[in-house]
Amino acid sequence: MDEPDTAAILPGDVLTATDEETHDSGDHKHEAEVASTGFVRPPFRVTCPVSVEPVLFLSMFSLALQAPLSTQYLWDRISEDLGYNGSKRSGCSNGSVPPDPLQTEVEILTAHWNLYISLVGFSVGLFVVPLLGSWSDLAGRRPVLILPNIGLALQAVVYLVVMYLKLPVGYFLVGRLLSGLSGDFNAILAGCFAYVADTSDRKSRTIRVAILEACLGLSGMLASIIGGQWRRAQGYINPFWLVLATNLASALYAYLFVRDSVVPDPSAKLLTSRHYKAVWHLFSTGGSTSDAGGTFHRCKLWLYMLCFFLVVTIHFGSRELYVLFELSSPLCWGSALIGYGSAAQNLAYLSSLLGLKIMQHCLEDSWVALVGLASNVIGLVVFSVADTTQLMFTGYGLCFLFMAATPVLRSKLSKLVGPSEQGALFASVACVESLCFLVGSGLFNSLYPATLHFMKGFPFLFAAIILFIPAGIIGTLQCLDQRRDNRDSTAS
C-alpha cells in the first residue's frame, strides 16, 4: 500500500527524510552544515515553480546538438584521411550501380569509432554513475548536477582542440573518458529525477517526472533543428562552442539557483565501496521500505525495472531505424520530410505530457501507462506496413502518447524506495537506460537487414509484440495492488 502523501515542496525548500526532527531539535546543527557546505544555499533563490528543469533542458540540448555533429565530423575526417570525396548514396539510388568500396570503408570506420566512443562512455559510467548517485543521497544533489556538466564541458573542449588542430579522431576517446569519469549525462539524469522525487509528493510525482521527460524531447528537437542548419552554414567549430557554453550555463545555473533537496553530510566520502553496497542492498532486499511488503515488494521493484528496460529498449531501437526506413524505397524521403518526421516524433513528448495530465483525473497511473503502451503498439504496427508518406505520418500521429509509460514507471520505482535511496535508484535507472541504448541499437540494426528479404517493416512489428510484455506486467501488478488494498480495507 502507498504511504500517506506528503506536502509538496517548493523548489527553494530543503526536503529530508527527517525534516520535522531537523526543525524541532537540530536547527543549530543544520545551520552549521549549511555554513560549512556551499551546496545547500545557492547564492540566489528562485521563487518560481522551476527547479532542475533548466539543468536537464540545457544538458540535453548540448548532448543532442553534439551527437549528430560528432558523427558527421567523424565521417568527414575519415573521408579526408582516406581520400574519399564523394557523398553518401541515397537508399533510393540506382541499385544496379555497384557500391563504392572507399565509401563502404568510410561507413565501416565511422560506425566503429562511434561504437568505441559509446563503449568508453558506457563502461566508465557503469562504475561512476552508481557511485555518484548513491553519494548524492548523503552529500546532496547539487554536486551531481554540477560535476557532470563540467565533465561534458571538458569533453567539448577536447573535441574543439581536435577540430582546431586536426588531431587524429582517436583523441575523441579522451574527451569521452573525461566526461565518463565525471558521471556523463546519465549522472545528470539521475540527479534531476532524484531531485524531483525529493521535492514532490507521491500524488504529483508522476507529472513532475513527465515534465522532465518533456524537457528532454523539446531540447532534442530544438538542438536537431539548430545543429543541422548551423553546420551547413558555418561548419563544426562554432556549434561546438555552443555545446561548451550550454554545459557551463547548466552547471552555473545549478550552482547559483538550485537549492539542495538533501541536507549534505560533510563526512560523506565519494570513493568508498559503501555506495555500491547501497545499490546492491536496494535491489537485493527491496530497500528500506521493503518490510511493509516483503518479497512482493522486492519483486515489484525488479518487475518495474524490467518493464522500464523493455520499453526504453524499444524506444531507442526503433528510433535508430526511422531515418533508414524513410530514406529507402518505397518512401524515399528527402531531408525536409525526415526533419518533419523527427519533429513529429519529438512533439509526442508534449502530447504525452498533456495526455498524462488529463488522464490522471480519471485513471490510475498504471492504466495511463497501458494507454501509452497501446498508442506505441498501434503506431509501430502502422510503421511496419507503411509504404506511403501519408501512412508514415499516420503512424507518428498514433504514437502521440507513446512517452506516457516511462514517467509512470520512473514514478512507481521512486515510490518503492525510501527518501534516502532515491539517488541510488535513479543512478541504477540511468545505467539501465545506457544499456537499453546499446541493446536496442545492436538488436534493431541487426534485425533490419536480416528481415529485409521477407518484410521490411518487421522490426517495428517485433517491437510492438515485445511491448505486450511490460503491458501485461503493469496490468497484473496493478490488479494485485488493488486486490490487496481491498483486502486491507475490508480487514480494517
CA distances to 12, 204, 259, 270 from 47, rounded to whole Å, are 6, 19, 11, 31
Please report whether residue 427 resides in a domain. yes
Q: What is the grid cell recorded at 214?
A: 518533456
Which of 178, 179, 162 lies closest to 170, judged by CA? 162
Please report whether residue 11 resides in a domain. no
Amino acid at 423: G
What is d(CA 272, CA 135) in angstroms, rounded to the nearest whole number?
A: 9
Is residue 232 domain-shared with residue 333, that is, in the same domain?
Answer: no
Amino acid at 330: P
Is residue 299 domain-shared with residue 225, that is, in the same domain?
Answer: no
Among 259, 275, 303, the domain boundary falls at 259
Is residue 252 domain-shared with residue 292, that is, in the same domain?
Answer: no
Is residue 158 domain-shared with residue 250, that is, in the same domain?
Answer: yes
Report the domain count for the chain: 2
Is residue 307 domain-shared with residue 452, that is, in the same domain?
Answer: yes
Give the distance, in angstroms, between the CA of residue 312 and the centroid of all CA atoms in the same chain. Answer: 9
Among 241, 259, 277, the domain boundary falls at 259
Please report whether residue 142 resides in a domain. yes
Is residue 229 domain-shared with residue 296, that is, in the same domain?
Answer: no
Please report whether residue 2 resides in a domain. no
What is d(CA 279, CA 112) in angstroms, rounded to the nearest whole number?
A: 33
Is residue 238 domain-shared with residue 387, that is, in the same domain?
Answer: no
Please report whether residue 245 resides in a domain. yes
Q: Structural domain of residue 394, as residue ranges? A: 287-492
Which of 247, 250, 130, 269 lies closest to 186, judged by CA? 130
Please report whether residue 270 resides in a domain. no
pTM attached to this predicted model: 0.81
Please report whether residue 167 resides in a domain. yes
What is d(CA 42, CA 44) in angstroms, rounded to the nearest whole number?
A: 5
Among 244, 259, 274, the domain boundary falls at 259
User: Which residues does 29 contact at the CB level (< 8 Å), separation at least 6?
Assistant: 22
Is residue 209 domain-shared with residue 322, that is, in the same domain?
Answer: no
Q: What is the grid cell recorded at 34?
A: 549549511
Is residue 328 domain-shared with residue 465, that is, in the same domain?
Answer: yes
Grid cell 545549478 in the structure block, residue: 254
Is residue 79 domain-shared with residue 203, that is, in the same domain?
Answer: yes
How does pLDDT run along the chain (492 residues), one tens digit per residue? Answer: 444 443 334 334 444 333 433 434 444 444 444 433 344 556 665 555 458 999 999 999 999 889 888 888 998 899 898 888 765 444 455 445 566 788 778 878 887 888 888 889 888 988 999 999 999 999 999 999 999 999 999 999 999 999 999 999 999 999 999 999 999 999 999 999 999 999 999 889 999 999 999 998 889 888 878 887 788 888 899 999 999 999 999 999 999 999 888 888 888 888 888 888 888 888 888 766 665 556 888 899 999 999 999 999 999 999 878 877 887 788 888 767 877 888 788 888 899 999 999 999 999 999 999 999 999 999 999 999 999 999 999 999 999 999 999 999 999 999 999 888 999 999 999 999 989 988 998 898 889 888 888 898 999 999 999 999 999 999 999 999 888 888 877 776
Alpha helices by DSSP H, 140-204: 142-165, 172-181, 184-198
Alpha helices by DSSP H, 258-364: 274-285, 294-327, 335-359
Please report whether residue 280 resides in a domain. no
Which of 19, 312, 327 lies closest to 189, judged by CA? 312
Domain CATH for 294: 1.20.1250.20
Is residue 254 domain-shared with residue 396, that is, in the same domain?
Answer: no
What is d(CA 74, CA 55) in angstroms, rounded to the nearest whole number?
A: 28
What is d(CA 311, CA 436) in angstroms, rounded to the nearest whole number?
A: 9
Is residue 297 domain-shared with residue 420, that is, in the same domain?
Answer: yes
